[in-house]
Structure 1
Amino acid sequence: MAKFRSALLAACLVVGTPLVTTACTSMPDEVSRQDIDAQSRQALNKLTSENSAARAIAAKSSAVLIFPSIVKAGLGVGGAYGEGQMRHNGAVRDYYSTFTGSWGLQAGAQQYGYAVFLMNDAAVKYVEDSDGWEIGVGPTVVLVNAGVAENLSTSTLKEDAYAFIFDQKGLMAGVSIEGTKITKLDAK
């Protein structure tokens, strides 16, 4: 099964056709679901223990979308794909995939994770009810980097969502989540 999922991921990244993208949004099997649960929990715990801004935002958030491992590759045309979950009050609410396509001057591959803290029930409902949420459309998302984190306090949290990118590894410069599509995985 792992070889199949790897081949499917590679096809999603290289080809990116609607047919392959649809295949990538099927509900993970039981073993994969357990892997996503364990990896998401570990990534979220590490992020909030090492980053005080993430810890403060997590304490005030309504829910979090956590994608512990996203693979990004490109040579002119590229893409990034990963699977994760929405957690609410410490429990898994649903499973999601994240996909970003890109083109332009790029070559290389990298792996990273990201978390999007949803700060209010309206943002959570929007994500749950949408047929795929494209970051940059809908709830306002602030990408928290070192500069933004210095100026955040629990009294200045006014946006719908705050995103953190973590554990970047590989040979590609920069990561952006603008234009990323987050889609609920189909339950079968």
Structure 2
Amino acid sequence: MFDSFPVLRRTGLAAVAIGAAGLLFAGCTTTSPKSSATASEQRQSLSSAADATLGKLYQASPQSKDLVARAKGVLVFPDVLSGSFIVGAEHGKGVLRVGGANAGYYSTTAGSIGFQAGAQSKAMVLLFMTDDALNKFRNSSGWTVGADATVAVVNIGANGRIDTNTAQQPIVGFVMNNGGLMAGVSLAGTKISKLDL
């Protein structure tokens, strides 16, 4: 009987640890009252958030406005939430604009390994600079950065200018957090799928 106490204690500690991890990850999900919103409300909310994200992008890099204007398609993910403990995940919803009009809604997911306790949020803007790049994206049933296409993430020089080599790539990406544009970010492995909204 006394020998069973250590086993029970270990089992109890494991159960508590699993329960705590469950609560941690539950707190990092993107499920919110917005999940019960109608499709029309979700579309309107995403469109407004995309406008705000592009406004912040133009403030952070005035030169980006010209790139956005020249793009054949602009995919905006206003709020990509990442939460991780050991194995993490990112998730967000976004809108594709073609010719200035909303042309489709998408979700993004990515995984990561490493210790980053807590939730972090960022915005992603992908610019399809050629018709070919845009058409391949729109005609795919699932699209992964690195496997289906390369995204050149923009770096801003000390003079505040966008690197001209990056700006000439078929797909150009911007990643921002509350501190502004993020440098040295890789989007490889990011999966993007069409949403029925």
Whether 1:10 and 2:29 are equivalent positions in the alignment is yes
Q: Spell out the pairing of 1:51-90 with structure 2 (5 A cutoff).
A: 51-90=61-100
The structure that is strand-richer by fraction is 1
1:19-98 equivalence runs, <5 A: 29-98=39-108
- One-letter amino acid matched to 1:143: V
Counterpart in the other structure of 2:137: 127
Q: Quick one: which amino acid aligns to residue 126 of structure 2?
A: V
Asked if 1:150 corresponds to 2:136, the answer is no
Number of residue pairs the alignment of both structures matches: 162
- Runs of 4 or more above 6 Å deviation: none
Which of 125, 137, 160 aligns to 1:115? It is 125
User: Please, what TM-score do these two structures have when normalized by structure 2?
Assistant: 0.72
- Aligned 8 A contact 1:66 1:86 in 2: yes
User: In 2, are the aligned partners of 1:61 and 1:119 still within 8 Å (CA)?
Assistant: yes
Partner residue, 1:160? 170
SS of the aligned residue for 1:140 comes to coil
State the AA in 2 paired with 1:10. T
Partner SS state of residue 10, structure 1: coil
The whole-number CA distance in structure 2 between the counterparts of 1:11 and 1:92 is 23
| Cα distance in 1, alignment partners of residues 92 and 166 from structure 2 | 31
Whole-Å Cα distance in 2 between the matches of residues 104 and 167 of structure 1? 19
* Larger Cα-atom Rg: 2
Give the CA deviation at 1:45: 2.5
Structure 2 unmatched ranges of 5 or more: 1-25
Q: Deviations over 1:63-89 (max 9, x none)?
A: 110000111100001111000110111
Alignment partners' CA distance in 2, 1:56 and 1:97: 26
- Offset at residue 49 of structure 1 (A): 3.8
Of the two structures, which has the highest relative contact order with CA contacts closer than 8 Å and spacing of 6 or more?
1
TM-score of the superposed pair, with normalisation by structure 1? 0.75
Identity %: 34
CA offsets 1:22-81 (integer angstroms, 9 cap, x no match): xx9xxx722111100110112112212431231231122111100001111000011110
Letter in 1 for 2:131: D
Q: 1:179 to 1:156 in 2, by over 3 A?
A: closer
2:89–2:112: 8 Å Cα contact kept in structure 1? yes
User: Pairwise CA RMSD of aligned residues?
Assistant: 2.8
Structure 1: runs of 5 or more not aligned:
1-6, 13-23
What is the alpha-carbon distance in structure 2 between the residues aligned to residue 175 and residue 156 of structure 1? 14
2:188 aligns to what?
Answer: 178
Residue 175 of structure 1, CA deviation: 5.3
Per the TM alignment, residue 102 of structure 1 is displaced from its structure 2 partner at its CA by 1.4
Cα pair distance change 1:175/1:50, threshold 3 Å? closer
SS of equivalent residue, structure 2 residue 116? strand
1:137 paired residue number? 147
